[in-house]
Copies of this chain bind each other. A is one copy, B any other.
């Protein structure tokens, strides 16, 4: 055996910490000039993928962060005119948010840049390696979100 499974897991965790930092950094660089940051871009992504107006808590749910964090970005995005409020028929004080024309345009441009960049980033990595990485990470995430199924803690 090469190394213990725990060691490999620990290495993967460190890699995730660093990748998180570098991805946010490169993401910010990628959308600089579009009046976006990684955080705002992700909010736009949640709206674009949903294909419909969402409330702040719904966006937070989709992004896996808290509603307060999302709300902060939404208020800024509103000021910049990339999202707009719509009345929520089922809640008076909690409006829905949708992309404006400007927002859709900016998101499309960000997506184009990201795809180009991702193509370069993934060069030479086999489909198998990418697929297995995605599967493994998503298994780990699932276990982390539901605290640790069995075992006495």
Residues of A whose CB lies within 8 Å of any CB of B are: 2, 5-6, 8-13, 15-23, 26, 42, 64-65, 114-115, 117-122, 125, 127-141, 143-145, 148, 150-151
Contact = CB atoms under 8 A, between A and B. Distances in A.
Contacts of A143: 121
A114 B12 CA distance: 13
A133 to B, nearest CB: 4
Contacts of A144: 19, 22-23, 26, 121
SS class, residues of chain A in contact with chain B: helix
A23 B19 contact: no
Given A9-B118, A20-B20, A129-B132, 15 more contacts: A6-B122, A8-B131, A8-B134, A9-B130, A10-B118, A12-B130, A12-B137, A13-B23, A16-B20, A17-B20, A18-B141, A125-B136, A129-B136, A132-B136, A133-B137
